Amino acid sequence: MSIISYCEAIREGIAQEMLCDDNVVVIGEDIGLYGGKFGVTKGLKERFGDRRIIETPISETAFTSAAVGASLLGLRPVVEIMFGDFITLTADPIINHAAKYHFMSAGAVKCPLVLRTSFGSGTGAAAQHSQSLESMYLNTPGIKVVAPSDPYSAKGLIRSAIRDDTPVMFFEHKLLYSIEEEVPEDDYFVPIGKAEIAIEGDSISLISYSYATKLCIKAAELLKREGINAEVIDLRSLKPLDNDTIIASCEKTKRALIVHEAPVFAGFGAQIAAVINESSIASKMIKPPIRLGGLEIPVPFAGHLEKAITPNVEKIIQEVKKIMDIEAK
């Protein structure tokens, strides 16, 4: 085991796959000498050369399209998009092409491509560089979507994503890059489509992903002091979604709070709530699942406003107490 950051964990995972397979290439803006906007690809150009660490012009549509074409011809591109807001520019090559080729070719063509991007608020990057747009790709058949919350999951999932023959969207919250935790040095993989129980409990299920999972863990630790044993589910994979783990947890706790940073309206929390409400445990729930997400507003630049529109530990605790019918002190 070694203690490394979330950023370093993703870099290690990519490097290990590049060592295993010469067809793995990394494509994006400033990923070579600069090491990427958040330093994830730092040092990879020196190790693997500029034929495999490919610097691009500032045109997300163009180089993502090139990556899709390369994947159809046998390469396994890892595309870096600086900010998640810019994945809107990749919509045509990913949604209209990469997601469809396997189906439209009756399985004859594969598109093994990973699109990595940072997302989320908390850095003062304002409305055009702080969005959480994961739902945009979740409604497209043929794409997998993951959002790890810790270095261990990040390293294991990036390796699984690179080896997957389906296009995989890999969302990395900006506030996670500097978090350090123990990560095995040996080879390991985290399977896509499998959630993790981060904290076991029997009072209420806190269901989340990415940075919001960290908030739920902190809230659960504080709630435990008050006798509320919250179970925290780290989804890790949004599509495919681990319905079994969600349902099993809710069957035990009979209460659920779903937390994510994206706005509540049409957010992924609605899908999780539907999984619970449409399952056999719906009638056993003491209360229907509740969603806690961002407010319906572009992310402000001002720090105090930015913090005000997204979930935090205090809001999670307040919602849990409402669900538990406990009067907040």
Q: How many domains is the chain partitioned into structurally? A: 2
Predicted local distance difference test score (pLDDT) of residue 326: 81
Q: What number is the average pLDDT over the span 107-124? A: 96
- Indicate whether 329 belongs to any domain: no
What confidence category does residue 312 fall into, taking pLDDT thresholds of 50, 70 and 90?
Answer: very high
Residues 169 and 230 in one domain: no
- Full residue range of the structural domain in which residue 75 is found: 2-183
Give 167-215 pLDDT, tens digit per residue.
Answer: 999 999 999 999 999 999 889 999 999 999 999 999 999 999 999 999 9
Residue 60 annotated among the catalytic residues of the structure: yes
Which CATH number covers residue 22?
A: 3.40.50.970
Give the distance, in angstroms, between the CA of residue 63 and the centroid of all CA atoms in the same chain. 22
Q: Does the pLDDT value for residue 327 go beyond 80? A: no
Residues 120 and 21 in one domain: yes
Which CATH number covers residue 278?
A: 3.40.50.920
What confidence category does residue 329 fall into, taking pLDDT thresholds of 50, 70 and 90?
Answer: very low
Spatial CA neighbour of 70 closest among 8, 18, 27: 27
Residues 86 and 218 in one domain: no
Give 5-26 pLDDT, tens digit per residue.
Answer: 999 999 999 999 999 999 999 9
Opening angle at CA 164, ends 263 and 217, nearest 5: 40
pTM, two decimals, is 0.96
Quick check: 123 and 157 in contact, CB under 8 A?
Answer: no
Amino acid residing at 289 = P
- Indicate whether 167 belongs to any domain: yes
Q: What number is the average pLDDT over the span 277-297? A: 96
3-state secondary structure of 132: coil
3-state secondary structure of 111: coil
Predicted local distance difference test score (pLDDT) of residue 219: 98
> Length of the chain in residues, anyone?
329
Distance CA 252, CA 296 (A): 32
Quick check: 116 and 170 in contact, CB under 8 A?
Answer: yes
- Indicate whether 23 belongs to any domain: yes
Active-site residue, selected from the candidate residues 17, 29, 60, 134: 60
Distance CA 7, CA 84 (A): 16
Active-site residue, selected from the candidate residues 97, 129, 173, 260: 129
Residues 119 and 160 in one domain: yes
Predicted local distance difference test score (pLDDT) of residue 1: 85
Q: What number is the average pLDDT over the span 258-275? A: 97
Residues 247 and 215 in one domain: yes
Residues 64 and 39 in one domain: yes
Residue 129 annotated among the catalytic residues of the structure: yes
- Indicate whether 190 belongs to any domain: no
Residues 173 and 258 in one domain: no
